[in-house]
């Protein structure tokens, strides 16, 4: 939700623009840039995707100091007035902000009484108006003391050659290069510019130039931070012949699996798993949002089958309302691709405060969630750019499978190697032909039993987020308890069947749909006879694998179905409307 970048160095316009492209996954409602040369500001703003900003920018290939921002609107509509950067009343100070200022209305009221004028409706403009014309550390300290909420702030002034910054609950990093210095919401922006970076903590604030970095902690003490080496392998910038990142990333599931097999055999990783095994717990909670929550459900099914203790999977934003029994004996596993999801972070703090053993599974080892957990298990999927999560889901489930097997004392390498050989991404022609039909419907249901119901939930989320078709996932057995009222010839139902043991029951539920005129589509890994096949209007078959990996095998085709349907509707699957990749507001 919003990405910020600040840069001090040469070619400032083009380097900031590259940073914006890298941050676009955080929101693409509008973008903006301010450049300081001498004591002048030049500002660019545009609504819509980052590409819209490009034609407005006049490249000046000389040294400069600049800030840029890509917005996911929270307060105030999508307009130029609400576009960052925002300026102090005198116009000498400019800032970009990621986060939400909870007391902004109260602050705004006071500022209006003092005669300050507001151009837009954002909470961020309120911060800008809190600055006097002189930007210095005392002013910054004074302003941040007034703010309640989350913020990653980068601020420049016409009278200073530093970029000032402050962080609370929104990610912020400083990149250190030979010829430049940067600040950004995500260290992936530093690739090509810096070889090391500093992770800022909540409460940190300060300033930096090309020559020095001065950081104060929440107690107003100057602190020294050890820079970490930047890992270049994470970045995923090229489409490599694919039409969209989503399709590329679905196929990268296999690479993620290979990497996981390699790394999870290493001594270092086994040592980590051993530390986990030696913890004493009598309950397990798996916690995440959206797709990461669905991966948690798959993990829950693995763990319930393997252990004799209670295992619960919870939605991060709901956990605090549930009065759950979380204490020192609770193993709390937080799953998050980005490692920055605000709801998941809050749930993590909640469980930590109750004494829970807090462990994470993330794709970003530098992230806030990974930092706050006592152990982080990386999913090694490489950067996921498309908003719809695909390879991360696949890799999260694999890591959950490994954790389950390690704790149980069962080999995981051999089964994973076997699975790697049997991965089936589905037949493109069949999936495209189904997608072209599906694109004409307004609503779709997904049904399944046991793990197939979890797959139904994930497939349904994928379809709705990138095609805007209404879709819902139901346990097959539940239809007759109400939802079947919605079935008629205008409603396709996608039946997911990968478990032989419950196939007959699922088939009965499918027949109930057929009897009401619904269109039936089967996604299966099972060998079904011709008579059964005839009951369906469309059948997608993928190769059978061992039962534990069935949900991962079948989801690949379902992800591609969502992708091809979005393409058939002329939509951009990588940047669905109203969404952002990293959801850093609660």
Cα distance between residue 126 and residue 76, in whole Å:
12
For the bound state, the minimum distance from the C-beta of residue 465 to ligand AGP, rounded and expressed in Å, comes to 6
Is 524 a binder of ligand AGP (CB under 6 A)? Answer: no
Which position among 290, 296, 378, 518 is part of the footprint of ligand AGP (CB under 6 A)? 290
Indicate if the alpha-carbon torsion angle 478, 482, 487, 492 is positive or negative: negative
The answer for 484, left when phi > 0, alpha when psi is -120 to 50, beta otherwise, is alpha
Is 341 a binder of ligand AGP (CB under 6 A)? Answer: yes
Find the catalytic residue in 259, 464, 560, 581: 581
Question: How close are the terminal C-alpha atoms of the chain, in Å?
Answer: 10
Cα distance between residue 466 and residue 567, in whole Å:
9
- Name which of 172 and 369 has its Cβ closer to ligand AGP: 369
DSSP state of 101: B
For the bound state, the minimum distance from the C-beta of residue 339 to ligand AGP, rounded and expressed in Å, comes to 7
- Name which of 383 and 509 has its Cβ closer to ligand AGP: 383
* Residues β-bridged to residue 519: 492
- Name which of 123 and 384 has its Cβ closer to ligand AGP: 384
In our burial notation (b when 16+ CB lie closer than 10 A, e otherwise), range 58-79 reads eeeeeebbbbbbbbbbbbbeeb
For the bound state, the minimum distance from the C-beta of residue 295 to ligand AGP, rounded and expressed in Å, comes to 8
Find the catalytic residue in 2, 83, 180, 351: 2
Three-state DSSP state, 498: coil
Only segment of 165-173, 285-293, 495-503, 523-531 that touches ligand AGP (CB under 6 A): 285-293
Query: Which helix (DSSP H) or strand (DSSP E) does residue 199 occupy?
Result: strand 196-199
- Name which of 125 and 186 has its Cβ closer to ligand AGP: 186
- Name which of 252 and 476 has its Cβ closer to ligand AGP: 252
- Name which of 163 and 347 has its Cβ closer to ligand AGP: 347
Strand-pair category, 228-229 with 310-315:
unpaired
Which position among 289, 373, 399, 491 is part of the footprint of ligand AGP (CB under 6 A)? 289
389-418 residues in contact with ligand AGP (CB under 6 A) are 389
Which residue in the shown chain puts its C-beta closest to ligand AGP?
290
Is 381 a binder of ligand AGP (CB under 6 A)? Answer: no
CA angle 573, 579, 580 (to 5 degrees): 95
For the bound state, the minimum distance from the C-beta of residue 195 to ligand AGP, rounded and expressed in Å, comes to 26
Token pair recorded at residue 331: 């193993």
Say which residue the tokens 């009401």 belong to.
Answer: 516
Q: List the x/- string, 300-339, binding to ligand AGP by CB under 6 A.
A: ------------------------------------xxx-
For the bound state, the minimum distance from the C-beta of residue 358 to ligand AGP, rounded and expressed in Å, comes to 15
Cα distance between residue 561 and residue 250, in whole Å:
11
For the bound state, the minimum distance from the C-beta of residue 72 to ligand AGP, rounded and expressed in Å, comes to 12
How many residues bind ligand AGP (CB under 6 A)? The answer is 14
> In angstroms, how far is CA 498 from the centroid of its own chain?
28
For the bound state, the minimum distance from the C-beta of residue 551 to ligand AGP, rounded and expressed in Å, comes to 16
Three-state DSSP state, 342: helix
Nearest of 337, 365, 332 to residue 350 by alpha carbon:
332
Is 292 a binder of ligand AGP (CB under 6 A)? Answer: yes
554-583 residues in contact with ligand AGP (CB under 6 A) are 583
- Name which of 140 and 454 has its Cβ closer to ligand AGP: 454
Calculate Rg over the CA atoms of the chain. Answer: 25
Residue 71: half-sphere exposure toward Cβ, Cα within 13 Å: 31
Annotated catalytic residue 2: yes
CB atoms within 10 A of CB 226: 7
Which position among 31, 47, 82, 291 is part of the footprint of ligand AGP (CB under 6 A)? 291
- Name which of 33 and 387 has its Cβ closer to ligand AGP: 387
- Name which of 128 and 388 has its Cβ closer to ligand AGP: 388
Cα distance between residue 37 and residue 161, in whole Å:
10
For the bound state, the minimum distance from the C-beta of residue 463 to ligand AGP, rounded and expressed in Å, comes to 11
Q: List the x/- string, 52-81, binding to ligand AGP by CB under 6 A.
A: ------------------------------
For the bound state, the minimum distance from the C-beta of residue 97 to ligand AGP, rounded and expressed in Å, comes to 21
Residue 386 CB contacts under 8 Å (≥ 6 apart), including other chains:
244, 245, 246, 249, 573, 574, 581
Q: List the x/- string, 442-471, binding to ligand AGP by CB under 6 A.
A: -----------------------x------
Which position among 68, 250, 387, 400 is part of the footprint of ligand AGP (CB under 6 A)? 387
For the bound state, the minimum distance from the C-beta of residue 9 to ligand AGP, rounded and expressed in Å, comes to 30
Query: Which helix (DSSP H) or strand (DSSP E) does residue 489 occupy?
Result: none
- Name which of 82 and 362 has its Cβ closer to ligand AGP: 362
Nearest of 496, 430, 498, 441 to residue 464 by alpha carbon:
441
Q: List the x/- string, 343-362, binding to ligand AGP by CB under 6 A.
A: -x------------------
Measured between alpha carbons, how far is residue 331 from residues 273, 278, 287, 373, 570 in Å? Answer: 13, 12, 11, 11, 45
Long-range contacts, stretch 476-482, CB < 8 angstroms, 24+ apart: 476/447, 476/448, 476/449, 476/452, 476/505, 476/506, 476/509, 476/510, 477/449, 477/505, 477/509, 479/447, 479/509, 479/512, 479/513, 480/509, 480/512
Annotated catalytic residue 581: yes
- Name which of 289 and 416 has its Cβ closer to ligand AGP: 289
For the bound state, the minimum distance from the C-beta of residue 387 to ligand AGP, rounded and expressed in Å, comes to 5
* Residues β-bridged to residue 387: none
Say which residue the tokens 């929440």 belong to.
Answer: 218
Contacts to ligand AGP by CB under 6 A: 289-292, 336-338, 341, 344, 387-389, 465, 583
Q: Point out the residues that are catalytic.
A: 2, 581
């Amino acid at each position: 939700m919003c990405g910020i970048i600040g840069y001090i160095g040469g070619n400032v316009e083009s380097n900031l623009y590259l940073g914006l492209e890298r941050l676009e996954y955080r929101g693409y409602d509008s973008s903006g840039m301010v450049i300081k040369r001498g004591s002048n500001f030049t500002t660019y703003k545009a609504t819509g995707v980052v590409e819209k900003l490009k034609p407005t920018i006049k490249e000046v290939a000389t040294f400069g100091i600049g800030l840029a921002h890509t917005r996911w609107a929270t307060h105030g509509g999508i307009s130029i007035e609400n576009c960052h950067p925002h300026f102090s009343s005198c116009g000498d100070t400019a800032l970009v902000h990621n986060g939400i200022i909870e007391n902004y209305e109260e602050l705004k009221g006071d500022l209006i009484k003092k005669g300050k004028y507001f151009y837009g409706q954002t909470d961020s403009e309120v911060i800008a108006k809190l600055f006097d014309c002189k930007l210095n550390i005392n002013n910054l300290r004074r302003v941040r003391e007034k703010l309640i909420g989350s913020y990653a702030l980068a601020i420049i002034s016409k009278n200073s050659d530093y970029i000032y910054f402050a962080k609370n609950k929104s990610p912020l990093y400083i990149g250190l290069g030979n010829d430049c210095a940067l600040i950004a919401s995500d260290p992936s922006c530093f690739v090509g510019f810096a070889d090391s970076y500093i992770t800022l903590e909540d409460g940190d604030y300060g300033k930096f130039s090309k020559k020095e970095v001065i950081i104060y902690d929440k107690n107003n003490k100057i602190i020294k931070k050890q820079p970490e080496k930047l890992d270049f392998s994470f970045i995923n910038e090229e489409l490599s012949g694919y039409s969209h990142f989503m399709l590329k990333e679905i196929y990268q599931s296999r690479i993620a699996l290979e990497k996981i097999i390699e790394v999870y055999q290493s001594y270092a990783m086994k040592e980590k798993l051993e530390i986990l095994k030696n913890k004493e717990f009598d309950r397990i909670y798996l916690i995440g949002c959206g797709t990461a929550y669905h991966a948690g459900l798959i993990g829950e099914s693995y763990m319930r089958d393997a252990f004799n203790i209670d295992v619960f999977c919870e939605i991060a934003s709901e956990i605090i309302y549930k009065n759950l029994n979380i204490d020192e004996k609770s193993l709390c596993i937080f799953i998050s691709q980005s490692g920055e999801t605000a709801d998941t972070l809050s749930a993590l703090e909640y469980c930590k405060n109750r004494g829970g053993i807090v462990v994470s599974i993330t794709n970003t080892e530098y992230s806030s969630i990974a930092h706050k957990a006592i152990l982080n298990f990386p999913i090694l999927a490489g950067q996921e750019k498309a908003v719809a999560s695909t390879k991360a889901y696949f890799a999260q489930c694999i890591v959950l499978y490994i954790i389950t097997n390690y704790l149980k004392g069962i080999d995981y390498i051999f089964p994973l190697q076997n699975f790697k050989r049997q991965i089936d991404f589905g037949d493109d022609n069949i999936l495209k032909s189904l997608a072209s039909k599906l694109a004409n419907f307004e609503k779709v249901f997904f049904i399944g039993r046991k793990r197939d119901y979890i797959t139904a939930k994930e497939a349904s989320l994928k379809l709705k987020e990138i095609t805007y078709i209404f879709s819902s996932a139901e346990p097959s057995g539940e239809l007759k308890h109400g939802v079947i009222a919605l079935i008629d010839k205008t409603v396709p139902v996608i039946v997911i069947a990968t478990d032989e043991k419950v196939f007959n029951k699922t088939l009965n539920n499918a027949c109930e749909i057929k009897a009401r005129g619904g269109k039936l589509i089967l996604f299966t890994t099972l060998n079904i006879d011709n008579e059964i096949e005839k009951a369906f209007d469309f059948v997608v078959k993928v190769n059978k694998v061992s039962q534990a990996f069935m949900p991962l095998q079948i989801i690949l085709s379902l992800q591609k179905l969502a992708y091809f349907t979005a393409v058939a509707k002329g939509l951009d699957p990588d940047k669905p409307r109203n969404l952002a990749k990293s959801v850093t507001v609660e």
